[in-house]
Amino acid sequence: MREQLEALRDDAIKKIEQAQEKKVVQEIRVKYLGKKGPVTEVLRGMGKLSPEERPVIGQLANDVREAIGKAIESKMEALEQAEIHRKLQEETIDVTLPGRPVLKGGAHPLTATITEVEDLFIGLGFSVAEGPQIETDYYNFEALNLPKDHPARDMQDSFYFTDELLLRTQTSPVQARTMEKYKGKGPIKIICPGKVFRRDDDDATHSHQFMQIEGLYVDHGVRMSDLKGVLQAFAKSFFGEERSIRLRPSFFPFTEPSVEVDVSCGICHGDGCRFCKQTGWIEILGAGMVHPRVLEMSGFNPNEYSGFAFGMGVERLSMLKYGIDDIRHFYTNDRRFLAQFKRV
């Protein structure tokens, strides 16, 4: 019996040592130490033994159980460790590999243009003012010296909700509202960016909805030379120090005198080329001295105060700066177009 038990132990331990999987070790445990296993079997036969042999064999059987159990335990531990080790090997992260690029967004070119213009004018002491896109006939036209049935209204046909409510055709109503709020006391220095609407047929250079930035400076003794200086600073900052501006006489109902402002052509620098239609100049905005009637209607005494105002199309500025050939690119949101402005 002693030999039987010792053979069983050696056999089991050999098998345990050879096992490569936890599952196999479990099976060995069941096979050798289970209720129907050989060790139990041997113990059952103890009845036949003499009283002197019984405790000796009983002790040995327990030792064999313990030895097999210990072997199983340490093997399981070893397999567990090996598995962890293998996992660590397989699942290591190579921190030296280049990372996946993070997709970065960017401002829409119109937003970038507005931000740039805002920053410049804020630097000159202006504040940014905003107002409603649905306006009254009074603020959009009347307060800007465009009475009902005035022929100049034809240039800015709009979308009407009622006879009195319409989509604003310019951001000047924001300026008229601001002047009213100041109750005849200056100074006022604001720029008003925003969406405007006109009844227009869309093509490469026209859109029924576009963005505008208007500016207004009202104070004692504001002069045309102030307007020219501010616009020159703007043009040089926005288009480049080497560019110059010129003012041409023009007409707007809300300014007197009125001018159209050109910037020197960035392609030929004034010599004349196809881009500037051989003129050497490119029109960028309209401006003028605020009409005395406009000051008066908004509560400012035109004998005490004077002011200048200007208005420019954001799409046009952006197209000139970035060489965009079709205004519709701004609205179709093609990523091939937009992705070019990531760093703007």
**Residue 136 parent element (H or E):** strand 134-136
The nearest distance, CB 267 to ligand 2NL, in angstroms, is: 23
Question: Is 216 an interacting residue with respect to ligand 2NL (CB under 6 A)?
Answer: yes
- Phi/psi at 76 (5° precision): -60, -45
Nearest to 130 by CA among 165, 168, 186: 168
Q: What is the Cα–Cα distance from 41 to 212, expressed in whole angstroms?
A: 98
Among 109, 193, 194, 311, binds ligand 2NL (CB under 6 A): 311
The nearest distance, CB 199 to ligand 2NL, in angstroms, is: 14
CB-based burial label for 133 (10 Å; 0-12, 13-18, 19+): middle
**At residue 248, what is the residue type?**
R
With contacts defined by CB under 6 A, name the span among 27-35, 39-47, 94-102, 172-180 that binds ligand 2NL: 172-180
Assigned token pair, 34: 């289970």
Nearest to 267 by CA among 239, 230, 296: 239
Chain-centroid distance, C-alpha 26: 58
The nearest distance, CB 343 to ligand 2NL, in angstroms, is: 30
Nearer to ligand 2NL, 38 or 173 (CB): 173
Nearer to ligand 2NL, 216 or 222 (CB): 216
The nearest distance, CB 145 to ligand 2NL, in angstroms, is: 8
Number of residues that bind ligand 2NL (CB under 6 A): 17
- Is 256 among the annotated ligand-binding positions? yes
Q: What is the Cα–Cα distance from 289 to 308, expressed in whole angstroms?
A: 4
Question: Is 38 an interacting residue with respect to ligand 2NL (CB under 6 A)?
Answer: no
Contact 314, 213 (CB under 8 A): yes
Q: What is the Cα–Cα distance from 199 to 160, expressed in whole angstroms?
A: 10
The nearest distance, CB 307 to ligand 2NL, in angstroms, is: 7
Residues of span 247-306 touching ligand 2NL by CB under 6 A: 252, 254-255, 286-288, 290, 294
Residue nearest to ligand 2NL (CB): 311
**Binding region for ligand 2NL (CB under 6 A):** 144, 172, 175-176, 214, 216, 252, 254-255, 286-288, 290, 294, 309-311
- Residues flagged as binding site: 256
- Residues flagged as binding site for Mg(2+): 256
